[in-house]
Amino acid sequence: MFIADEKRYDKMVYNRCGKSGLKLPAVSLGFWQNFGNGGCFANMEKMVHTAFNLGITHFDLANNYGSPYNGSAEENFGRILDGMRHYRDEMCISTKAGYDMWAGPYGDKNGSRKYLTASLDQSLKRMKLDYVDIFYHHVFDPNTPLEETALALDNAVKQGKALYVGISNYNSAQTAEIMEIFRELHTPFIVNQPSYAMLNRWIERDGLDKFAEENGIGLAVFSPLYQGFLTDKYLKGIPADSRVGKGATWIGNELDEKMVARLNKLNSVAEKRGQKLSQMALSWVLRNKAVATVLIGASRPEQIAENAACIEKLDFSAEEIAEIEAILGE
């Protein structure tokens, strides 16, 4: 049985998710990669224990996470939880449905009530949970009426299978539309999960961050390290055991000479701040007031410890921001 570090809550800061009552750790752990059956279970377990010992209380899953088959990350998380279920009330666990999951018309990429309802039941079984804290629709579906998707999420709450609901990969216009329906239903809709990083600023251009802040919705940001680019991993080449080296990402071709030069310049700014590049990249995302938490991925426990320490320096001087903007604008 896992016994957690008594000092864990001194090591993290917690942000309110929008205007809701739910607090999220500034740094959360995501299960998209490295938690499937291809990996080493002992390493997965150690990553979760390390995170929890650092005050990381939020674990972000989805029905389709894991390889070689969808759902294997939830199964492995369920196994890890078996040794730490006594801490269930200290955890905020999320899952999602919306991307391709199982064969046929009810488990492909969609937002139907049929798919979302069945998928949440499956997720709960895999993780051996009575409820999740947040249930997300994973990606906007232009072919399903938003009322249907909203009602499916609302129904999950009414059935006691989710405490809060969220949406992911919805832009500001799509968020505004579904938010109106949730308001009518009094659904506890508290969070949107977009991608956002120094190298990926679409939410600023779209206005999603401003919209979220004005409307009391928290942002749980995914891929804040741009899948590992914004770490010291790629400053001198591509290690074979990295996400790019393993061909486990579609953005590997963006890692050209110009990108490596930019990453090295950002790394110099981080060094002057007394941070690792990864830590500066996370602090930079967290400086955006709409952001409640950054969802990091990891392949080993040490990365989680390094990343969680970003909270030791969250502020930026005007000069640092200007220097970073100049590098990003090159």
Q: By CB under 6 A, tell whether 36 contacts ligand NAP.
A: no
Q: By CB under 6 A, tell whether 168 contacts ligand NAP.
A: yes
* Stretch touching ligand NAP by CB under 6 A, among 32-40, 49-57, 203-211, 257-265: 32-40
Is 137 strand, coil or helix?
strand
CB of 319 to ligand NAP, least distance (A): 25
Q: How far apart are CA 72 and CA 93, in angstroms?
A: 16
* Stretch touching ligand NAP by CB under 6 A, among 44-52, 104-112, 119-127, 216-224: 216-224
Closest CA to 58 of 82, 79, 38, 77: 77
Two tokens, residue 254: 């963006």
For 42, 116, 170, 176, 195, the CA distances from 263, given in Å and listed in that order, are 32, 40, 29, 35, 19
Q: Compute how many residues bind ligand NAP; rule: CB under 6 A.
A: 30
Cβ proximity to ligand NAP: between 32 and 284 the closer is 32
Q: By CB under 6 A, tell whether 217 contacts ligand NAP.
A: no
CB of 6 to ligand NAP, least distance (A): 25
Q: How far apart are CA 182 and CA 153, in angstroms?
A: 9
Return the axis-axis angle of helices 301-308 and 277-286, rounded to nearest 10°: 50
* Stretch touching ligand NAP by CB under 6 A, among 78-86, 126-134, 227-235, 312-320: 227-235
Q: By CB under 6 A, tell whether 307 contacts ligand NAP.
A: yes
Q: By CB under 6 A, tell whether 243 contacts ligand NAP.
A: yes
Cβ proximity to ligand NAP: between 1 and 115 the closer is 115
Q: By CB under 6 A, tell whether 161 contacts ligand NAP.
A: no
CB of 47 to ligand NAP, least distance (A): 10
Residues 108-147 that bind ligand NAP (CB under 6 A): 138
Q: What residues have CB less than 8 Å from 11, skipping those under 6 apart?
A: 53, 54, 55, 308
**Quick one: which of 18, 25, 30, 166 contacts ligand NAP (CB under 6 A)?**
30
Q: By CB under 6 A, tell whether 76 contacts ligand NAP.
A: no
Cβ proximity to ligand NAP: between 138 and 161 the closer is 138
**Quick one: which of 18, 25, 27, 32 contacts ligand NAP (CB under 6 A)?**
32
Cβ proximity to ligand NAP: between 3 and 235 the closer is 235
Contact assessment for residue 48 and residue 80, using Cβ atoms and an 8 Å cutoff: yes
Contact assessment for residue 129 and residue 92, using Cβ atoms and an 8 Å cutoff: no
Give me the amino acid identity at 125.
K
Give me the amino acid identity at 272.
K
- Using left for φ > 0, alpha for ψ between -120 and 50, and beta otherwise, residue 78 falls in alpha
> Cα angle at 148 between 142 and 152, to 5 degrees?
120
**Quick one: which of 18, 39, 166, 228 contacts ligand NAP (CB under 6 A)?**
228
Taken as a whole, the chain contains a residue count of 330
Question: Is the C-alpha dihedral spanning 184, 185, 186, 187 positive or negative?
Answer: negative
Q: How far apart are CA 87 and CA 231, in angstroms?
A: 31
* Stretch touching ligand NAP by CB under 6 A, among 10-18, 31-39, 255-263, 265-273: 31-39
* Stretch touching ligand NAP by CB under 6 A, among 4-12, 178-186, 209-217, 290-298: 290-298
Q: How far apart are CA 161 and CA 116, in angstroms?
A: 12
**Quick one: which of 175, 192, 278, 293 contacts ligand NAP (CB under 6 A)?**
278
Interface contacts to ligand NAP, rule CB under 6 A? 30-34, 60, 138, 168-169, 193, 222-228, 231, 233, 242-243, 278, 295-299, 303, 306-307
